[in-house]
Amino acid sequence: MNPQQDVSTLIAFTAGLLSFVSPCVLPLVPSYITYITGVSFQDLTDEKAKSKIRWATILHSILFITGFSTVFILMGASASYLGQVLIEYQTWIMKIGGVLIIILGIQFTGIINIPFLQMERRFEMRKKPLGYLGSFLVGLVFAAGWTPCIGPILSTILIYASTAKNFTTGILLLGVYSLGLGIPFFLSSLAFNSFLSAFDKIKRYMRWVTLISGIFLIAIGILILTDTFREINAFFNKLANP
């Protein structure tokens, strides 16, 4: 992987981590884990029962992560493909996309509220389908019905993917984004007690997390709007190929 790709993938991975700690995802992690595994909250926190349910938790978590990763990667491929079809309009796509990302970032910080962007698109499954396939399906539903809180961050990566020169860039970026979101979820499911302890500390700073996430989006939007992203990539490309 060249330095140019390193910059993009680092941003995508960071975006995935920020999505995980967002107010829409982090507080729901315990519920998601108990829902997809079919194991009670008490069993997950019981040290004696831990060894019995560890492998089931691992498999259910992997399938859940695979489910939402599949949707995100397909979205990334679609964004890159659309960007290639509209390649002659990429300058306008970058400018409009940059402005949109800045607006999403401002909305994310909570400094101003845009009612239209607060509309939720969440699908609920009251009863999980049986078996491991059910965990994969829940992952698909989770990705298809993300709330506005995770939407701005994901939209930023999709907009950037649409300005890429290669079709595979969207697949790569959304795959890395899914890793950023999936790895902490997987670790949380393995160390449930540790996650609950850490969550009690993190939730005190949730307002700062959303503010930092919003500033992150605004910065990316400015880089795309001013075409500075390409200049940064060109700089790293020169370093790699003197």
Q: pLDDT tens across 75-107, in order? A: 888 888 887 777 677 677 778 877 887 887 787
Position 154 pLDDT exceeds 80 = yes
Between these two residues, 192 and 100, which has the higher pLDDT value?
100
CB atoms within 10 A of CB 138: 21
Furthest-apart CA atoms within the chain: distance in Å: 62
Name which residue leads in pLDDT, 53 or 133: 133
Question: Above 90 in pLDDT, residue 66?
Answer: yes
Q: What percent of the chain has pLDDT over 90?
A: 8
Threshold 0.85, pTM exceeds:
no
Q: Higher-confidence residue: 106 or 203?
A: 106
Report the run of H or E that residue 28 belongs to, with start and end. none
The C-alpha atoms of residue 156 and residue 154 are separated, in whole angstroms, by 5
91, two tokens: 């300058």
How far apart are the C-alpha atoms of 179 and 173, rounded to whole Å?
10
**Average pLDDT along the chain:** 75
- Give the pLDDT confidence score for residue 237 in this predicted structure: 58
Structural domain harbouring 29: 3-240
Task: Tell whether the model's pLDDT for residue 177 goes beyond 90.
Answer: yes
Structure token pair of residue 167: 């079709």
Query: Could you give the CA distance from residue 206 to residue 8 in angstroms, rounded to a whole number?
Result: 26
pLDDT (mean) for 201-221: 79
Q: Is it the case that residue 175 has pLDDT exceeding 60?
A: yes
Residue 25 in this model has a pLDDT that exceeds 90: no
CB 9 within 8 A of CB 169: no
The better pLDDT of the pair 195, 4 is held by: 195
Tell whether the model's pLDDT for residue 207 goes beyond 60: yes
The count of domains in the chain is 1
Pick the most confident of 53-57, 89-93, 191-195: 53-57
> Average of pLDDT values for 121-139?
67
> What is d(CA 193, CA 171) in angstroms, rounded to the nearest whole number?
34
Q: In the chain, where does DSSP find H-type helix? A: 3-20, 29-37, 41-44, 47-85, 90-109, 131-144, 151-162, 167-190, 192-202, 206-225, 228-240
Using a pLDDT cut of 70, give the percent of the chain over it: 71
Helices 192-202 and 167-190: crossing angle in degrees, nearest 10, is 100
